[in-house]
Structure 1
């Protein structure tokens, strides 16, 4: 072959290869850094967005409380069936665990919560809750929709996944520790990492936020019965007043944080319930108080719990009353603090920057709200983050757990894309590491 013919042949091969690359629909054809933007572009397409909105509105109209998500799980399973995604149900009472990919290692998990709150919706719109006294007032309808959206995106490129994505549609996040039951079910033993997200009303649309290490507080509940001796309000000398005792308890509980805790170690004790007599002229036999306590570190959380019981029983005794304290752990297991794995946070941040740019990533401060996502972190490395939905051209959105809470549906493609991108990139990067195969490397 002449030199001129050789050059022509090489040029033809180069042009053919370039054409194949530019025309490819492969997620990885443009490199890891292009995956998030490519997935977001797909999720923002009109047909896909319309599908997401339809699912979210359907779930929103039919809210169900923890471990009652029968109809919600039906919606999830119906969509998974349409996609040809295999799943197990029921897991942890009403949960659904699906999978996309090769069925082999590496494994990564994505989680969404499905439950609603016992609250009457006050937002007047066409798709408001049709169930009196129940409402999706924390965005779990959006989270479930986002994970279904991520599943659809992952299924589209399933042949390119270098491992398996475990899809966790979890029940009962709101105080009932559905995540704990998922972990106890043993369905995540093969996962080497798990990612979760939450919509944020204070974060602008298209922005994303998280932090390494401490993110959210651990939380517990308490209820105390302070028992005295009832009597007529005009004759207090013949009674032992539990109202005065309970009032002293409430004030003394605040001193635990203000006088005993390190000011740099955030803690909260809130008494949110105080019930006595219904009559204005009767000293009741007993008073019931109840509330929540929170701390960012496990050590502080344990100490706070111990001091709450000591303060309640001691202050009741000072006022000649008796007290019993119940931490309600059988029905409401305490949530551990949520801490983000530092390596996973760096990974997450890289994905976010590639998806929406450095200017749309914000590092948040720790917050005193809690999340049962913390139970997953006790089983494997985990990362939790926030997806913004505040449209800056509108009035500030209501906070979670408000009857006026709303979801900006424009945030749905962002959440779906973030989940799908993190799973895809995690598997690609994990599969490039030295092989650590074992006898349990299949789902």
Structure 2
């Protein structure tokens, strides 16, 4: 298998290089979708795009069992060297390359018979809404096993190591507004001070107490109020809140507390405080059987000494909406050590690109392990 991967390397290096140069934010991945669709079509795959959004998927083979592999395709919008632009600082260009590499490698090896394989290129992961869209489109309705991959920062995992699961936490991204009346600096009683209300909001959020055994956090990450006139007390403000928790139950409880704080402060200060969830991700639900298939693939690829326990992280991934909304799907996500520094979402993020080929081998063997296990069980059932 390694010889075949080495044969594919030059071509996959070009694929990665091209994807890296055309980053696009969620729901705008038009060039990315077109490039992948054309590339895979030329490789002999039947490509299917989605009717009303970016992204695509490929289906191979026939059978009752469906094994799927999913990658995210969007980039982040951030300031890079003084310029705001789309940037692949979360490694989605590498994820796409690994899934394409897995498809090409399995094509060379020959897809196991009697099983359907689905390769999904999902948009808008960073917005937390791409997976939900594909669920609504019915793309996951026939999927039995689902695998994904994510590069891990060096703070979590050293280069050359891998984990058979990532326990991401849940997250919600909230946009809020305080709507009151401006006032003259000399007559504060005639208006509302949105800055003071915002300060109280921060204090109240910091005072939320939930089960200390479950990690959670909520913090204001943006607050805008007032203009250039220093003698006007601003009655209006806009703000953002980043909310995270290690499981889905805790994030629901945390958000309910935030809603209660907003309601209490709005009544206390006679203003409107509006909250809107702009995006969210679900906490991971990992299938033991899927994890075992991936664990065996990791050991077979890089050795037991390079296998590490599943990663627990407060970071979010909309991959886990698939198992939240479709509990019958057996899923896990490969955590791939690749020397990634300074960190995910850093504008200057770099990683060891050779790790992609380790990821391709692990993913391919995971899919093959799953297929073989199903074939063995089917024979026993006859």
Distance apart, 1:147 and its partner CA:
0.4
CA distance in 1, matches of 2:360, 2:111: 19
Instruction: Kindly indicate whether the alpha-carbon contact (under 8 Å) linking 2:149 and 2:334 is maintained by their aligned counterparts in 1.
Output: yes
Distance apart, 1:291 and its partner CA:
1.2
1:105 partnered with 2:59: no
What's the counterpart of residue 70 of structure 1?
30
What's the counterpart of residue 198 of structure 1?
150
CA distance in 2, matches of 1:301, 1:243: 26
SS in structure 2 of the partner of residue 141 of structure 1: helix
What's the counterpart of residue 321 of structure 2?
375
Identify the match of residue 314 of structure 1 among 264, 267, 290: 264
1:184 partnered with 2:136: yes
Instruction: Kindly indicate whether the alpha-carbon contact (under 8 Å) linking 1:66 and 1:172 is maintained by their aligned counterparts in 2.
Output: yes
- CA deviation digits over 1:76-111, x for unaligned, max 9? 1122122211121135611211023x3223220000
The 1:68–1:164 alpha-carbon spacing in structure 2 relative to 1, beyond 3 Å, is: same
CA distance in 1, matches of 2:214, 2:195: 32
Distance apart, 1:360 and its partner CA:
0.8
Deviates more, 1:164-173 or 1:76-85: 76-85
What's the counterpart of residue 250 of structure 1?
202
CA distance in 2, matches of 1:255, 1:411: 43
The root-mean-square deviation of aligned C-alpha atoms, in Å, is 2.2
1:1-40 to structure 2, matched below 5 A, reads 39-40=1-2
Distance apart, 1:293 and its partner CA:
1.1
The 1:122–1:364 alpha-carbon spacing in structure 2 relative to 1, beyond 3 Å, is: farther
Tell me the TM-score normalised to structure 2 length: 0.91
Identify the match of residue 212 of structure 2 among 257, 263, 287: 263
Query: Which of 1 and 2 has greater Rg?
Result: 1
Consecutive unaligned residues in structure 2, runs of 5 or more? none
Identify the match of residue 428 of structure 1 among 360, 372, 375: 372
- CA deviation digits over 1:239-283, x for unaligned, max 9? 332211110111111111xxx211101111121011100233321
Identify the match of residue 119 of structure 1 among 78, 89, 100: 78
Identify the match of residue 170 of structure 1 among 99, 109, 122: 122
What's the counterpart of residue 92 of structure 2?
140
Distance apart, 1:237 and its partner CA:
3.9
Deviates more, 1:423-432 or 1:292-301: 292-301
Distance apart, 1:232 and its partner CA:
2.6
The 1:362–1:91 alpha-carbon spacing in structure 2 relative to 1, beyond 3 Å, is: farther
- CA deviation digits over 1:24-79, x for unaligned, max 9? xxxxxxxxxxxxxxx34432x1x422211111110111111112111111221122
What is the number of residues matched between the two proteins?
375
What's the counterpart of residue 273 of structure 2?
324
CA distance in 2, matches of 1:354, 1:159: 19
Deviates more, 1:239-248 or 1:82-91: 82-91
Instruction: Kindly indicate whether the alpha-carbon contact (under 8 Å) linking 1:210 and 1:384 is maintained by their aligned counterparts in 2.
Output: yes
Identify the match of residue 53 of structure 1 among 13, 37, 55: 13
Tell me the TM-score normalised to structure 1 length: 0.79
CA distance in 1, matches of 2:115, 2:311: 34
Distance apart, 1:159 and its partner CA:
5.0
1:87-106 to structure 2, matched below 5 A, reads 87-90=47-50, 93-100=53-60, 102-106=61-65
What's the counterpart of residue 297 of structure 2?
351
Consecutive unaligned residues in structure 1, runs of 5 or more? 1-38, 124-130, 391-395, 438-443
SS in structure 1 of the partner of residue 217 of structure 2: strand
- CA deviation digits over 1:293-343, x for unaligned, max 9? 12222221211111111112213433x2323322235xx3x3221121122
The 1:420–1:413 alpha-carbon spacing in structure 2 relative to 1, beyond 3 Å, is: same
